[in-house]
Amino acid sequence: MTSAGPVVCFGEMLLRLSPPGGTPLAQASRLELNVGGAEANVAAALASLGRPTRMVTVLPDNALGRRALTALRGAGVDTAFVGTASGRMGLYYFEPPAGPRPGHVVYDRASSAFAEAEPDQFDFAAALEGAALLHLSGITPALGPRGCALASAAVAAAAQAGVPVCFDGNFRANLWAAWPCDPRERLVPLVERASVLLGNHRDISLLLGREFTGEGEGRRREAAEAAFAAFPKLETIASTSRQVAGAGHHRLAARVDRRDGGWQTEELPITGIVDRIGTGDAFAAGVLHRLLAGADAREAAESGLALAALKHGISGDMTLLPAAELDAFDPGDADVRR
């Protein structure tokens, strides 16, 4: 999968509000604002790495929407297909983990301008012209019937344009539980159009309605082979495996599977974690950055792991690093470079 065309990312942008580390939301007197959203994070990271990207979304026509738009433009993302509408900006509150306390997310995104949008508000055909890839995630259909219609319209337009689809599972249980539906029923038609799936054996279990009982790499390969059998268009599956030793100490490994085999990295210890949010989107960008350059499974997995690891040391949702820094990544070298 190689192309010099832009990656088109479609999904909702959000503002994140967080108290200082170690302060519970219930006791917070001030909040820090960051711009994010899964698909926007991928667009920004790829643009920073030097790949052309386009964002397709709708933002409220107010100061908060303009703040999100400024963040995209600052990252180098093409915003020609970012529309405006009446309504509100989607928000989420993030209470960072501290010591033995886990992190917590509180969503406040119901009835946002994006969640209330209709497919005809987006010119998918024009946005996908000359594109290398359409990237979207399971967060959009999780928003409700309107979100399902938006995701379906996007992948249908990609099929019409002959543009491959990358689908990131990004399963959000709280969003799916907010309305009566069967997530599998909604997700399978989208994954059927995908060439790249970002998701692990649990995501595949949800899609296929079956469990995988092996261990470690064997279970992941078994799940990948089952997904390849179920979805003929699927060419690549990428995922991470995370072990949490504490709020500031994780171990992360990455895997990329192709139909003819796969590659899994060694576990990488990550300490001194600054911000865990957005690391999955950084992984997605690192994988796509290499896949679109024609790299093999090993190179794509190692690139995804490197960018995800680097994101742990960056505050905010977005990963804005040049390709040179990704290429120079050395997990054993955290000293000052002079």
Cα–Cα dist 271/251, whole Å: 9
What's the pLDDT score for residue 335? Answer: 45
Q: Indicate the number of domains in the chain.
A: 1
Q: What is the DSSP string of 25-42?
A: GGG-S--EEEEE-HHHHH
Token pair in block for residue 160 = 């019409």
Regions of the chain with pLDDT less than 50:
334-338
pLDDT reported for residue 183: 95
Within a domain: 215: yes
Domain range enclosing 81: 7-22+31-231
The per-residue pLDDT for 215 is 74
| Both structure tokens of 197 | 């799936």
Which distant-in-sequence residues (6+ apart) come within 8 Å of 63 by Cβ?
none
Which has the closest alpha carbon to 167: 138, 209, 141?
138
- Establish if 192 belongs to a structural domain: yes
Q: In which residue are the tokens 């995800």 written?
A: 308
The answer to the question of residue 85 being in a domain is yes
SS3 state of residue 326: helix
Domain annotation covers residue 328: no
User: Residue 160 phi/psi, 5° resolution?
Assistant: -65, -35
* 118 in any annotated domain: yes
Q: Is residue 195 part of a domain?
A: yes
In a domain, 320, yes or no: no
Q: Is 172 helix (H, G, I), strand (E, B) or coil?
A: coil
Flag whether 42 is in a domain: yes
The neighbouring-strand residues paired with 98 are 101
Q: What phi, psi does 24 have (nearest 5°)?
A: -60, 150
**CA 22 to chain centroid:** 26
Output the pLDDT for position 213: 81
| Cα 158 → chain centroid | 19
Contact (Cβ atoms closer than 8 angstroms) between residue 323 and residue 46:
no
Active site residues: 281
Confidence at residue 332, expressed as pLDDT on a 0 to 100 scale: 63
Q: Tell me, what CATH number does 107's domain have?
A: 3.40.1190.20
